[in-house]
Structure 1
Amino acid sequence: MTRSFPRDPSSRLVRISPPGNDASATLDVVFVHGLGGSIDTTWGAGESTWLHWLSDDHPGAVIWSLGYPAAATKWTDRGSGMSLPDRVPTLIDRLRDNGIGSRKVAFVCHSLGGLIVKQMLRHAEGVQLLDIQTISTSTMGVAFLATPHSGSTLATFIGTVGPARPTLTTLSLRAHCSHLEELGNWYRQNAGALGIQTVAYRETRKTRRWFGAVLVVNPTSANPGITDCVTTPIDADHSSIAKPQDRDADVYLGISRFITRLQDRAASEQDAKAESGLNSLESAITPPADLVEKIREIDAMKDMGLITSGEVAEVRTGILYKHYGILQ
């Protein structure tokens, strides 16, 4: 079966996972490309990329790829581009239109994509509209791949060379940009409070450009500055770090483990919420003895390892529904 991305120059969100697993899915994983990238090129080329492998390996997660115009210069972009704050509301609308925020969310970001996601979280958290705030309140984790948290010297170089004609997007990535510093401070101060787990990877190989080889994002800039987040060095350049060649590649293994951890956490929180709801319902109603005995039998089956916590919650809900004709 051929699996490829649709080609469209406008901002869009493409679903990578096949339809059909939404009822059992606990996590949406959204990949966001960086400067000069696209849905078609950043994550690999051909009929199947590592995003498809992750979809196959994590059936309980729905994998998405978010695309937006991200040209580096005006020679390759029809307009002057958009700054980070101006770009974000449109992308949030794109996510909301596709139901992102209705369950737990994780973002995997390459380069500029990481700054886009931090700006989206900040915007969503600060807006007094519940359906927009869900983008931040539902986010469980963010993985950064070579994201220039304090800017890139390459963007600074492009911005100072006349013929390059940088877009506003490129200019927003200049090293020591005050907006990036402020955005980084916001993320460091709020990621923990929002319950967001952070992982980060950095390039170690220089990228060849027409003017020579350069480390696009240096180790200091690649560090998001989050407690308990160690920025992992990867034997790759700025482009190839987002294109693991197989399932044994360090980036693939790291992101796969990250998704697994978040899925486990989402399932645990879901079970706890269901258990709390059932306990509240049971405490508000004095059940008959036969109903109590049925529920105790289900709990005993869980203690013996015969059924999972999620199955316990589902069966107990069914018992209560059947007896009272109500559902929490």
Structure 2
Amino acid sequence: MHLPHSRRTEETLLDLAHQIHHRQQGVEVSRLPPPPMWMSGMHQDMVVGIGRSRKTRSTMVAQFIADISDVSPSMSKVLVPNISSTSIAGSNDVHSWLCKMKGHVAHLHSGKGGLWCFGGNGLPYAQSLSSVPSEKVESFCLQALAKHSKVPSHCDKIVMNGGLQLLQKIYQLRHDSQKIQRNIIRTIGNLALHEHLHSAIAQSGWIGILAEVMKSPHVIQASHAARALANLDRETVEEKYEDGVYILHPQFRTSQPIKADVLFIHGLLGAAFKTWRQKDHSDMENKDTNYTECWPKTWLAADCPSLRILSVEYDSHLSDWRSKCPMENERKSLAYRGRELLTKLKAAGVGDRPVVWVAHSMGGLLVKKMLLDASEDPEMRSVVQNTQGIVFYSVPHSGSRLAEYSVSARFLLFPSVEVKELSKDSPALRELNNNFTKFIREHEVNILSFGEMLPTYIGSMIKLHVVPLNSADLGIGDFIPLDVNHLNICKPGSRDSFLYQRSLKFIKDALAKELKRTIPRIPMSEEATTLYCIRREC
């Protein structure tokens, strides 16, 4: 999505307010005055600490805010709005904010704006053409706002125009929509990357909400909240988790030192969580009660608690049939994605300690590209020096058969950049593989590769081995063919399965030296020690 300048941020917020106006029968919204700056830096850190404690309840955050400030307990509940579904509507400040939006909406909606800009007069015009469900419109606006929140200057606009409070209201109204709530928390996580906005986020009550969401049984929701809280926690966390980088473990504050990192990179059409779920069961009634939606978070974290486990997400497509912007093609290339992900991972502290990479399909090509780029950049050399091992799940080192069907398959009539780059015997792919093979031999990195022996159904017409065995075999390290298809090659059937146990053994062996090393527990400040005791006593 193209974001030419920050005025679009205000327009997007107003579109969302316009939706709230329709849902609340005449209540309209305007800019909320900046919250009072009563919270000191120390108190802010302590509130975040309570929020990141494993057994925190939202009432603890509200009571703590009341204890350290001059506000009443009832006002502190306004700052933790999930305590009462009507807490925001009952606040005089927020009520006045809601009642002022009419003039701003009328003013900006009367201005010029394109249909697809998520602002100006585009939204009312689109609504006049068809009956678009309000939830769908809100979802579009929130996706646009999430894009805006990736631009630092736009983040200031979101906060200045009352975005934190508006997002809070929508979060409550859409409690039944995980997708909408996920986009909202994603935006808060992006805002939390900027320390000068931390006070506004804390004072607007988001820490209590995030603390509750982090305990959700839904792994995606919980991980979005964990990322946001980690970005807010500047007392015990030095790293910053940018958009698309998720911390699966440890998600709470802990005194146990982290000895190494394990990074998970998905492939084409994959995602940071769904790619790494347990193998699906055809008979859902007989599904194991211990079924996990993300085995690295559930199994690996339990088997190796001293590891930090990260998962990366990026957009990928089979076809450019619905491509929205020509500039997107360059952004989808391996070269661009590799540079972008490497920069994000460096900000997350990858390279500061030993690391093992785990990649599925095209994700393995990204890992290869990132390591080669890092080897040529003095500021990224630590990433190379600390790489101890790589697990490849059906990575098309020599190309994939998927690209061969780009003409015959209707949905691949316009193959995406990603698919084109997977063509067998591609010169660029051959060069990448040759350079990486030389790199591995020079740096003596441990390699474990798995290959698929069963075909995968692509749509209803195509059945093929997406990555042939000869393409999945790098020729270095152990190579293990398995009786699974391309989708299930990275989805163990159970914690006792050969696929998981062999992967676990490789990770432990590659990091054996670090895992055996004794590291003193992290010293805590007096405030952090108090929070740790609170967590243990709850």
Q: Same fold (TM over 0.5)?
A: yes
Match of 1:73 in 2: 319
Q: How far apart, in 2, do the equivalents of 1:74 and 1:93 lie?
A: 26
Match of 1:213, SS?
Answer: strand
Compute the TM-score of the two structures, normalised by the length of structure 2: 0.47
**1:233 Cα offset (Å):** 1.0
Q: How far apart, in 2, do the equivalents of 1:262 and 1:24 lie?
A: 19
Tell me if structure 1 keeps the 8 A contact 2:274–2:294: no
Deviations 1:218-270 (A, max 9, x none): 110001121xx2310112100011111211222211111011112213357xx
Match of 1:293 in 2: none
Structure 1 pair 161/102, CA: closer, same or farther in 2 (3 Å)?
A: same
Identity of aligned residues (%): 28
Query: Which residues of structure 1 form unaligned runs of 5+?
Result: 272-309, 315-328
Tell me if structure 1 keeps the 8 A contact 2:319–2:411: no
Match of 1:232, SS?
Answer: strand
Tell me if structure 2 keeps the 8 A contact 1:141–1:262: yes
Match of 2:355, SS?
Answer: strand
* 2:339 is the alignment partner of 1:89: yes
Match of 1:109, SS?
Answer: strand
Tell me if structure 2 keeps the 8 A contact 1:153–1:175: yes
Structure 1 pair 193/15, CA: closer, same or farther in 2 (3 Å)?
A: same
Say which of 111, 134, 139 aligns to 2:361: 111
**1:159 Cα offset (Å):** 5.8
Match of 1:217 in 2: 467
Q: How far apart, in 2, do the equivalents of 1:5 and 1:157 lie?
A: 33
- Which structure has the larger Rg over C-alpha atoms? 2
Q: How far apart, in 2, do the equivalents of 1:191 and 1:43 lie?
A: 26
Match of 1:240, SS?
Answer: coil
Structure in which a larger fraction of residues adopt strand: 1
Tell me if structure 1 keeps the 8 A contact 2:449–2:479: yes
Amino acid at match of 1:99: G
Deviations 1:26-71 (A, max 9, x none): 2100000001111132112786421121111111211111111111
Q: How far apart, in 2, do the equivalents of 1:161 and 1:172 lie?
A: 17
**1:211 Cα offset (Å):** 2.4
Structure 1 pair 233/166, CA: closer, same or farther in 2 (3 Å)?
A: same
| Aligned ranges 1:1-328 → 2 under 5 Å | 1=215, 2-6=217-221, 12-18=244-250, 19-20=252-253, 24-44=257-277, 48-52=293-297, 53-75=299-321, 78=324, 79-80=328-329, 82-127=332-377, 129-130=378-379, 132-158=380-406, 164=412, 165-209=414-458, 210-226=460-476, 229-267=477-515, 310=518
Match of 1:286 in 2: none
Tell me if structure 1 keeps the 8 A contact 2:267–2:360: yes
Compute the TM-score of the two structures, normalised by the length of structure 1: 0.75
Structure in which a larger fraction of residues adopt helix: 2
**1:160 Cα offset (Å):** 6.6
Tell me if structure 2 keeps the 8 A contact 1:43–1:49: yes
Q: How far apart, in 1, do the equivalents of 2:350 and 2:501 lie?
A: 25
Q: Larger relative contact order (C-alpha < 8 A, sep ≥ 6)?
A: 1
Tell me if structure 2 keeps the 8 A contact 1:21–1:59: no
Q: How far apart, in 1, do the equivalents of 2:243 and 2:395 lie?
A: 20
Q: How far apart, in 2, do the equivalents of 1:202 and 1:134 lie?
A: 30
Q: How far apart, in 1, do the equivalents of 2:452 and 2:371 lie?
A: 25
Structure 1 pair 101/60, CA: closer, same or farther in 2 (3 Å)?
A: same
**1:21 Cα offset (Å):** 5.2
Amino acid at match of 1:66: V
Deviations 1:163-205 (A, max 9, x none): 5211111111111111111111111111132231100000111
Tell me if structure 1 keeps the 8 A contact 2:403–2:420: yes
Match of 2:513, SS?
Answer: helix
Q: CA RMSD in A?
A: 2.4
Match of 1:73, SS?
Answer: coil
